[in-house]
Chain A
Amino acid sequence: MSDLDRRAAPPGKLPGSLMANPRLDRWLAFDAAGHVTVTPGKVELGQGILTALAQIVADELDVALPRVRLQAASTPGSPNEGVTSGSLSVQDSGMALRHAAAAARAIHLEVAAQRSGVPLDALRVEDGAFLAPDGRAVASYWSQADAALLDCDAPVDVRAKPPAARRVAGTSTARLDLPDKVFGAARFVHDLRLAGMLHARVVRPPARRARLVAWRKDALPADAILARDGSFLAVLADTEHAAEHAAERLAALCTWEATDTLPPQHALADWLRHAPGEHAVILERDDPAAAPAQTLRATFFRPYVTHASTGTCCAVARWQGATLEVWTHSQGVYNLRADLAKALTMPEDDILVRHMEGAGCYGHNGADDVALDAALAARAVPGRPVRLLWSRAEELGWGPVSSAMVVEVEATLDSAGTIASWREEVTSHGHSSRPGRGALPTLLAVEYMDPPREIPNALNPPLASGGGAQRNAVPAYRIPKLTIGVKRVASMPLRVSALRGLGAPANVFAIESVMNELAQMAGEDALDFRLRHLDDARGREVLALAADMAGWRGRTRRESFGMGLAYARYKHTGAFCAVAAEIEALDRVVCRRLWIAADVGEVINPDGVANQYEGGAIHGVSMALKEAVGFDARTVTSTDWDTYPILRFSEVPSVETRLIPRPEEKPLGAGEASLAPTIAAIANAIHDALGIRPRAMPFTPGNLVAT
């Protein structure tokens, strides 16, 4: 198909984030030196998105990949693409860039045709050069780079290359960011060094929302600088060592007024169930069904869990007069800017936010909080940049956590062993208190500044955009009578927000455990029972593939080993994923092997997707077997790697991942889809090995005995 044909077929509306940001020069810029600079609003979180976006652009423009330069998001330098979350970056940013690049190509070719007299459909593009049929280069993106050609909105009537013509997207291109990381280059915000920069640390209170009532500064090192706003207290010094030393000294000199605010950890499930909240029925179906013959009732629990990045949160801030500059590893530079403006009572336009990478990010962690901390600290030294780094205890103890959840299911089988009804109640906090979305700021320090402001209770995004507590709460299976209720707890003693999968891990753990139990009641194999109740052909295909990879049908029983299966389509609209898990029950449960089958629609970078699936699954193993936030009546107590253990090398299973290629289908996202089914597959494998039905995460010996 020629470029002319592509323009003739309008697809309807602008794709992805292009709809809200239609100007082409917000996304792409060519230069005379032979580069195209791409400025997406999505950010690198360790997931490899920048590489995938570069592949899409290189493909659509027909330029070599090294010509594509990715610029990190900033305000106001990149389009506002909201937050990099929800496994949506290829859909939102990738599809916008594909269209923008196709539009830029069409515009450039039209100009080249007009100027050269070579007919448009006779021109072809080779590494950015526009070639006439005789092979003569009549122009290039680079020779036309100064023509302000992209100073316009993206036309709707542009069509990207057909899937079969793609050469770069769909290949396992090496990640563009990885060389810096294996050579120890300065790439993270932690590595930013500006002239005259000071180092800062926060002195945290001994309890949530405690008030600083007295402090003695006489014993502080002479060269330490204090920054205080109400009960927010930070200390600045020339070196990291001096800042840490001063913060330790200062902590010992503070008197706080503290009260008990947190629920009892040992009775958290009961507390959640009895806490006030708002209840909604999110789905009710009442189709004809056979009479129930058998009933199953089960209750599932997941504790609070946290992000546990290997690096701690960090930001650099500098005040120049009334202007604030911030360097941050936030997931959303515009959202952060909005909440900084609210927290600091200043216009958004006076704040410049620049993204730099942080350690792996799996949701709304403390990245935004530390940016406000740094801004508050930097107010003590106008004109000087201040780098504020959280300690490990702050990282594990003061970032937002993911909600604890209770999922109660009552399901019935008819006399033929077919599911007749399913009633489910999900009890949870909301799953998002992200910044930049409401009238009030949600950054940690606002609860301690003068005057303190309460952070609004976390929300559940609507089901249409994936939901929060209700994410994956609806079983994917054919069930004639179905009621799904969700209670959102009215308060959040521990600040809760989005973490990989949101409500999906607890919901899929519950649903896929019940499916196994129903299969057993029906006297049927767990795979067959699922396939009999699953209508979606793509779902059936991943289930069958995972079972096949694991040798499900021919498996033999081995003493103390067990195998389990689970399936979920992430958010019901995203990627399809089935996982088979093999566990060994020793003095504790160890996950030995995982087999993952996935369908993510169009794959931009197969190895990148596999890396995300493997990583998500290993995160799932860790969450399933080890993780729980510990707390007392006043504060989080799991503040180091002994009290909040995550999976280590000796405990990691082998993982085999296969993707079902669907180049003609829409991309469906990858980062979060494998986590929840991995947890459920492990639960089912534990039952296979031990005959115990896990009901409470993590599946530690203590929790398994209590079941």
Chain B
Amino acid sequence: MVAFTLNGAAVSVADAGAPLLHVLRGELGLSGPRFGCGAEQCGACVVLVDGAPAYACTLPAASIEGRQVTTVEGLGSRDAPHALQRAFLDEQAGQCGFCLSGILVASAALLARNPDPDDAAIRTALDPHLCRCGSHNRIIRAVKRAAAEMRA
């Protein structure tokens, strides 16, 4: 058994040998973290572990014992959206949306360490994340909008 904190709640999972992504989507029933490549190349699976972006597709579940995991579901909800989620909707920053879960949590980690990132800082932070639909510029605008709102 592996015990950790998921989006603020204590959880435990049986399959310690599985990658974190599979236990999040499997035993724990989440949809936000997504499988894209299984090789740390696309960012679709990214979650926050103790506040830092991590590739859930390769991270063994056993390695997160006692740690804090945040997924896009933990950022906010329809009733209480995170500033980033609101900004992504305001900017219509997405098309298919498959990449957004990883991008949103990575953006949250960026804003936690840099409340006023410029374009270059956002691009650097999001460079591990692939978006095939070409919503990049909208996403950059949304991150800046959320940053401004969070600073206000």
Chain A residues close to B by CB (< 8 Å): 45-48, 172, 174-175, 177-188, 190-191, 193, 239-241, 308-312, 357-362, 389, 391-392, 607-608, 611-612, 614-619, 640-642, 646, 648-650, 652, 654-655
Contact = CB atoms under 8 A, between A and B. Distances in A.
A309 B37 CA distance: 10
A240 B124 CA distance: 32
A675 B101 CA distance: 26
Contact of A652 (B41, B95, B136): B136
Tell which of B18, B19, B37, B123 has the most Cβ of chain A within 10 Å: B37
Contacts of B81: 182-183
Contacts of A46: 95-98, 133
B39 interface: yes
A650 B137 CA distance: 11
24 contacts: A177-B97, A178-B88, A181-B98, A182-B94, A182-B100, A183-B76, A183-B81, A184-B32, A184-B33, A184-B101, A190-B34, A309-B98, A311-B36, A358-B96, A358-B98, A359-B96, A611-B92, A615-B133, A640-B37, A641-B130, A648-B127, A649-B122, A649-B123, A649-B136
A614 B94 CA distance: 11
Interface in B82-130: 85, 88-89, 92, 94-101, 104, 122-124, 126-127, 129-130
B interface, over-half SS: loop
A580 B89 CA distance: 29
A310 B29 CA distance: 21
B44 A310 contact: yes
A354 B150 CA distance: 41
Contacts of B151: none
A310 B26 contact: no
Nearest to A192: B31
Given A240-B18, A310-B36, A640-B39, 5 more contacts: A187-B31, A312-B36, A360-B98, A618-B136, A648-B127
Contacts of A611: 92, 95, 135, 138
B127 A360 contact: no
A340 B19 CA distance: 34
Given A183-B78, A359-B98, A308 B92 contact: no
Nearest 7 pairs of A and B residues by beta carbon: A184-B32, A46-B96, A181-B97, A618-B134, A615-B134, A360-B96, A241-B18
Contacts of B39: 392, 640-641
B89 A392 contact: no
Given A191-B31, A611-B138, A240 B22 contact: yes
A596 B143 CA distance: 24
Nearest to A181: B97
Given A182-B89, A652-B137, A646 B71 contact: no
Contacts of A241: 15, 17-19, 22, 26
B131 A310 contact: yes
Contacts of B15: 239, 241
B26 to A, nearest CB: 5
B38 A182 contact: no
Given A46-B96, A46-B97, A178-B97, A190 B132 contact: no
B131 to A, nearest CB: 7
Tell which of B17, B31, B77, B104 has the most Cβ of chain A within 10 Å: B31
B67 to A, nearest CB: 20
Contacts of A47: 95
Contacts of A608: 92
B30 interface: yes
Contact of B104 (A182, A362, A617, A654): A182
B7 to A, nearest CB: 10
Nearest to A51: B92
A615 B18 contact: no
B2 interface: no
B36 A649 contact: no
Contacts of B130: 310, 641, 646, 648
A607 B42 contact: no
B101 A311 contact: no
B88 to A, nearest CB: 5
B69 interface: no
A615 B99 CA distance: 14
Nearest to A191: B31
Contact of B30 (A180, A184, A359, A648): A184
B133 A240 contact: no
A650 B97 CA distance: 20
Contacts of B122: 649
Contacts of B42: 310, 392, 641
Contact of B22 (A239, A310, A607): A239
A183 B139 CA distance: 15
Contacts of A392: 36-39, 41-42
A389 B18 CA distance: 17
B55 to A, nearest CB: 13
A182 B97 contact: yes
Contacts of A615: 95, 133-135
